[in-house]
Structure 1
Amino acid sequence: TFVQSYADGEATDTIEKMQSGDVVLFENLRQYDGEKANDMRFAKDLAGYADLYVNEAFASSHRSHASIVSLPKLLPAYAGIQFSQEVEHLSKAFDPQHPFVFILGGAKFQTKIPLIRSFIDTADEVVVAGALANVLLKQQGCTVGKSLLPDADMDVADLLEKDHVHLPKDLVVEDADGNARTTEACEIRDDEMQLDVGKGTMQLITDTLDEAAFVVWNGPLGDYERGYGKTTDRCAKLIADTDAVSLVGGGDTVAAIQNLDIQHMFSFVSTAGGAMVDFLADKTLPGIEALQGK
């Protein structure tokens, strides 16, 4: 049974009529302001419908929302099977086999730049691609044209000092008229924007993965939503073909893997994007903290 509205006990009758084996599915909790505001009153409304709580939403557990951090305080609370597997597998990155290769793409600047710093002394090789690379290229003195950048400048000079941090060698760029070309990474024109990595960068990734024993990958190498997905697909196949332990996650990353139908070729495919990044950076999440001691 699907229930659209359930605040203030609206779904009580539906719950009370449930028989053994019935399932009731509530509409997205975030339709209510109380969820995002972590309102204890809203959490108590939800608790009134249940006898126990199971968190199977690892991908949302980086958010301090009512159903994630307050509801577990009101009921017997447990981690779900997938949730537990996420923690178990992703935790392997904290004590990895070596050589350890870390590949980061995408455009979540505020979370992924700190993540690089978290693993800078653990990973043997770090490859930065996607829009994320624009921040480091700009710091390096390169012109990035109209490429995507964070709203505020980020100081990443410390990352550029590390020899094992690798930036794209070449990039696929487009001008305002949609004309695409491949150029050296530091030769983007003022009217162009970076949308993918080039063949030279893919060779760098190939060489880096050649001896890898452990790989973590999060984020596409190019603008996947604009059709620049070939290099991301190629990266997926390269990692899948290694003998390394491989942990991958992120919406576009997982979409590429699913489109290629090669999920089974990775050690673990995370259901999470932002939560995976936050967990790797902080070694915990609000949703994990809420379950500890329960």
Structure 2
Amino acid sequence: MAWKTLDDMDLAGKRVLTRVDINVPVENGKVTDATRIERIAPTVEHILSQGGIPVLIAHFGRPKGKVVLDMSLRIVLPALEAALGHKVGFVETLEGAENLTGEARAAEVLLLENIRFYPGEEANDPEFAARLAGLGDIYCNDAFSAAHRAHASTAGVAEHLPSCAGRLMQAELQALEAALGAPERPVVAVVGGAKVSTKLDLLGNLVDKVDHLVIGGGMANTFLAAQGLNVGASLCEHDMADTARQIMVKAGAAGCEILLPADVVVAREFAAGAENEVVPAHACPEDAMILDAGPQSVARVAAVLAKAKTLIWNGPLGAFEIAPFDTATNAAAQEAARLSREAGLISVAGGGDTVAALNQAGAAEDFTYISTAGGAFLEWMEGKTLPGVAALGG
């Protein structure tokens, strides 16, 4: 590992500038999902246990370099104190952080106001990064979900201070390394979602890295159409047919098997409980939409998973938001969860729809690792260098 962890640092008596992601959903002035807040607790606890002083830096929303009172981090304080079990001192300005009051000094943990209130943050302004670095003795990045951004608090600060990954960042990087860096083979990737065009880089990278690539969701329709099959009124990017064929050729050359649906669930309307039928993938009626993979397709996915040692999952296999078109996603996810639980399958999943789909299937808890990082998770899977990770290797 090119990056250091908290275990490599002497934290005693040090101010540890800790970049976290506590950009959580809020309704009526209260945090509705504290998952991201809870996930930073091990990092904060370790710093405290070693005699360090955690100084938390975070963003909230997109204020674009201006003070927007509705995006103040003050709103997360109660949830943060509950998750950490410690008093958190709130510091409203950088000037305040540079000249702490007695009350702030007495707090066990400090939280700086929304770092994106400052234009120097997203611009990764060198002077701003240096000023930020002056608030700490050590820099710890525990926000993998912001690591694809080259901002002052994710990359710039690391040029000025001894740097390390926090516990959440460490777990994320180790999980991704196990899935794509040096995985146990065979490796299966499940990639779903609406459009091929949004996942071109991902597919292009994966066919060189995995043994089997399962393509589902609306993306699969584009690949079926590219093979000359009629997909009726289905969601399909017909203009991406040449690209889909190129991906299939590249996969063949790399020895990667692409699994497309062999049978599909079709309906005339996209509505809960809509009348539907299972037909072979080549027999979609002209007036129907493909909304899910069929049972034969699910059985093929299950057979591939049974032989796999590593699984990477991004995106659903069908229109999982509405029953019964969640059937294939639920069945495949539950099988992946069972194999993870009983057969030692290393299963790593990420992306917004993915997390929602796996939770809905009741499968999330048994996956080896579920990333909540969204864009950073996708960019890592695309083979891109993440500035926030690269900065830790200096």
TM-score tier, shorter chain, comes to 0.7 to 0.9
- Report what 2:169 is aligned to: 83
- Unaligned stretches of 5+ residues in structure 1: none
Q: Distance in 2 between matches of 1:74 and 1:30?
A: 20
Does the CA-based 8 Å contact 1:172-1:180 persist in structure 2? Answer: no
RMSD over equivalenced CA pairs, Å? 3.5
Cα distance change on mapping 1:132 and 1:152 into 2, 3 Å: closer
Q: Distance in 2 between matches of 1:142 and 1:108?
A: 17
- Is 82-91 or 140-149 further displaced after alignment? 140-149
Spell out the pairing of 1:161-200 with structure 2 (5 A cutoff): 161=249, 162=252, 164-175=257-268, 178=271, 179-182=274-277, 183-188=279-284, 192-200=288-296
How far apart are residue 6 of structure 1 and its match?
A: 7.8
1:100 alignment partner AA: V
Letter in 2 for 1:231: A
Q: Quick one: percent identity of the two aligned structures? A: 34
Cα distance in structure 1, aligned partners of 2:106 and 2:93: 25
Contact 1:148 / 1:193 at 8 angstroms: preserved in 2? Answer: no
Does the residue aligned with 2:297 lie in a helix, a strand or coil? helix
- The answer to whether the 8 A contact 1:2-1:24 is kept is no
Matches within 5 A, 1:170-249: 170-175=263-268, 178=271, 179-182=274-277, 183-188=279-284, 192-226=288-322, 228-242=325-339, 243=343, 244-249=345-350
The yes-or-no answer on 1:9 pairing with 2:110 is no
Unaligned runs of 5+ in 2: 1-71, 76-89
| Structure 2 residue identity aligned to 1:234 | A
Is 1:265 the equivalent of 2:366? yes
Q: What pairs with 1:20-59 in structure 2 (closer than 5 Å)?
A: 20-26=106-112, 29-30=115-116, 34-40=120-126, 42-44=128-130, 46-47=132-133, 49-59=135-145
Question: Distance between the aligned counterparts of 2:217 and 2:293, measured in 1?
Answer: 7
Question: Which stretch of structure 1 is more off in the superposition, 177-186 or 4-13?
Answer: 4-13
Separation of aligned partners in 1, 2:152 and 2:126: 7
What's the CA shift string for 1:107-153, capped at 9, x where partnerless?
Answer: 46456333333232442221111233233223223344351549977
CA distance in 2, matches of 1:266, 1:164: 23
**Number of aligned residues:** 293
1:70-122 CA distance string (max 9 Å, x none): 23224432211111121122112233222222211124645633333323244
Q: Distance in 1 between matches of 2:216 and 2:393?
A: 36
Offset at residue 56 of structure 1 (A): 0.9
Q: How does 1:105-124 map to 2 (within 5 A)?
A: 105-107=192-194, 109-110=196-197, 112-124=199-211
Whether 1:135 and 2:222 are equivalent positions in the alignment is yes
| Distance change >3 Å, CA 67–CA 126, structure 1 → 2 | same
**Distance of 1:166 and 1:125 partners within structure 2:** 7
Query: Shift of the alpha carbon at 1:169?
Result: 2.0
TM score, norm. by length of structure 2: 0.62
Judged with a 3 Å threshold, the aligned counterparts in structure 2 of structure 1 residues 73 and 111 are, in CA distance, closer, same or farther, namely farther
C-alpha distance in 1, partners of 2:184/2:303? 18
Structure showing greater Rg: 2
- Contact 1:159–1:165 (8 Å) recurs in 2: no
Deviations 1:171-222 (A, max 9, x none): 3345457455344434445665443222222122112212222222122222
Find the counterpart in structure 1 of residue 354 from structure 2.
Answer: 253
Higher mean displacement: 21-30 or 123-132: 21-30
Which structure would you say has the larger RCO, counting Cα contacts within 8 Å and 6 or more residues apart? 1
Q: Is 129-138 or 26-35 further displaced after alignment? A: 26-35
2:245 pairs with one of 150, 157, 166: 157
Tell me the SS of whatever aligns to 2:210: coil
Range 120-129 or range 105-114, more displaced: 105-114
Would you say the 8 A contact 1:3–1:26 is kept in 2?
A: no
